[in-house]
Amino acid sequence: MEKNTKIADRNGEAMKRSLPDGETLYAALVKKDSNFEGIFVVGVRTTGIFCRPTCTARKPKRENVEFFASAHDALLHGYRPCKVCTPLEPKGTAPGWLKPLLEEINNAPLIRLKDGDLRTRGLEPSRVRYWFKKHHGMTFQAYLRALRIGQAFGRIRHGEQVIGAAFDSGYESLSGFADQFKKTAGFSPRQSRERQIIATTRILTPLGPLLAGATADGICLLEFVDRRMLETQLQRLSKLLNAECVPGFSKHFDKLNGQLQEYFAGKRKEFDVPLLLPGTPFQQRVWAGLRTIAYGSSRSYKEQAEAIGHANAVRAVAKANGNNRIAIIIPCHRVIGADGKLVGYGGGLWRKRFLLDLESGQKTLLDEQHEG
């Protein structure tokens, strides 16, 4: 018991030391810098509440705030969670007022809902549009259309006639269906057997939402939504697979989400979701090498290059790491600098530190939230 207490105390101190200085944190707070999501929360002495770095509420004066490494720490210091930015929920969590609608859509992806239908459900259409535009990059109606087209694509690809898929999807004319299909998918319905659609969805984690993409063969994309290279990765993936990305459902998403939640809870060390990894032979060799780095351990870029038989290709290995489109499962976060420093992670070095701490058994933000 005494030993465990000492370990917890040391881990707690490590968390405190890992915070940047107060001026850096306050500058991030003023700028609403999303890169600091997951690094700290801020307690406001004058109100007794604590917030995310990106909270839209009016910013307090420097002398009226204190910073904490976790929501759990803020709660222990007597602060209440902000009702505006809900710091106890993972970033990107759907608000309570929207969850019944999302559940309804998940259960009936072919549903058609107009503004009047939303109002009868007690929802303001403009508020729904704003949320979907912010979190999915499209309006609510565009999102529903994408779901219907994705469902139709799967049916046509598996042998159903175009006309049947069109009318079953609620379209009154074949031409209207074909026009909308091409506008959404980028190709005509009759090309469905030669082309692919990458179904995409968002998966919430303690480090912010991930964008997941899948074809019938497996997961082909798993990236943090704020990664700068995400748009480039989507374009490359579309070209490699001769496919278009469309919001939708996949038989692989439930398993992926479940295994990720187990991973962040410290209950899973390996993943067995099917993956689809188009790339050059060298890239695929590098990515396969990454999966041999054991949970809780790390390698330098030089060690990684040597492990795959390309000792003189350190830079090429590092570049291939950067082109990895499957975060966490293909663990490029386990590759560090030769001097032990954290370098080169597209999701942000703070996320890399979190993942390595999680895997090494150190106390993390997720553990503290569960304890709270």
Which helix or strand (DSSP H or E) is residue 350 part of?
helix 349-359
> Are 328 and 287 within 8 A, CB to CB?
no
Q: Which of 80, 85, 76 is nearest to 53 (CA)?
A: 85
Could you give the dihedral angle defined by the CA atoms of residues 167, 168, 171 and 173, in that order, rounded to the nearest 10 degrees?
Answer: -10
- Cα–Cα–Cα angle for 190, 114, 248, nearest 5°? 45
Q: Is 220 a catalytic residue?
A: no
Distance CA 188, CA 181 (A): 6
Q: Which of 12, 47, 40 is nearest to 26 (CA)?
A: 40
Among 51, 82, 85, 245, the one annotated catalytic: 51
Q: Using DSSP bridges, classify how beta strands 299-300 and 335-336 pair: parallel, antiparallel or unpaired.
A: parallel
- Taken in order 108, 113, 119, 125, the sign of the CA dihedral is positive
Q: Is 51 a catalytic residue?
A: yes
Eight-class DSSP state of 219: E
Q: Which of 248, 247, 269 is nearest to 260 (CA)?
A: 269
> Are 306 and 298 within 8 A, CB to CB?
no
Catalytic center residues? 51, 332
